[in-house]
Amino acid sequence: MAWLTNPEIWISLVTLTVLEIVLGIDNIVFISILTGKLPAHQQDKARKTGLALAMITRIMLLLSISWVMQLKDGLFNPGVWIGLDNKEMLEKLEISGRDLILIVGGLFLIYKSTAEIHEKLEGDEHQNAKGKAHTFGAIIFQILLLDVVFSLDSVITAVGMASHVGVMIAAVIIAVGIMFFASGSVSNFVHKHPTVKMLALSFLLLIGVSLIAEGFENGIPKGYIYFAMAFSILVEMLNLRVRKKESAGKSH
């Protein structure tokens, strides 16, 4: 029980919890958009199931930490296939298990975001004409795929910040618990404002590109991405406030 009086443990726990929440925001947005395709009575269940799967995935990865760290080892090198002899370029082109997951996850995120934007621009008539049915199982499967990608990045970051697996698991459980209660409000807000939903999809596109770049060892500094998101959200909040005032003025 000595850990209870160790300030470093508590600092690590608070830091990791905040980090997990920040890294989980895009996960909540993605889950909210996907579950919005389901009937109203299934949306809350699907959203909570998606977050529970995210927590389980993170904990399982943390418990298999040695395997996760092995994902950084190179699997293959496309540069060798084309006869490249530049050592520096060969090192950059080497693909590890982690890189492969990030690249595939980034491509999937770009595909889903583009498909969602297309659907929103085409309207309900286009969606009905295609006759696509969204089942509970299919939505949960898509959420699970992205949970793995987001969880991998989150776990590797956590490993670099803390040395106690128990602290990491506690941070994940606390963060997911907070997101569990906040997800309903986030989901309602996103679905209530179509422009916010489009902005969220644009963020997911940006994250997808970032994942692919990171997979090819050309990662975009996360500070730039978070600044762009924060600035866009600020502009959108101002727009929502202006529209609210205009609608209030018209009602009078």
pLDDT digits (tens, 9 = 90+) for 163-197: 577 777 888 888 888 888 877 787 777 777 777 77
> For the chain, first and last CA: distance in Å?
64
Q: Using an 8 Å Cβ cutoff, are 151 and 53 in contact?
A: no
Give the Cβ contact number of residue 91 at 10 Å.
Answer: 12
Residue of 5, 16, 7, 57 whose CA lies nearest to 166 = 16
pLDDT at 153: 66
Residue 39 has pLDDT above 70, yes or no: yes
Cα–Cα distance, 185 to 196 (Å, whole number): 13
Number of residues assigned to the chain? 252
pLDDT average, residue stretch 9-32: 75
**Among all chains, which residue has been given the structure tokens 């029980």?**
1
Task: Tell me what pLDDT residue 131 has.
Answer: 46
Nearest to 87 by CA among 96, 100, 77, 97: 77
Q: Give the pLDDT mean for 76-101.
A: 70
pLDDT at 146: 78
Q: CA 243, CA 197: separation in Å to the nearest integer?
A: 16
pLDDT at 106: 83
Average pLDDT, the chain: 75
**According to the per-residue pLDDT averaged within each range, which of 25-34, 36-45, 114-123 is highest?**
36-45
Of residues 212 and 128, the one with the higher pLDDT is: 212
pLDDT digits (tens, 9 = 90+) for 125-163: 545 444 455 788 888 888 888 777 777 766 766 665 555
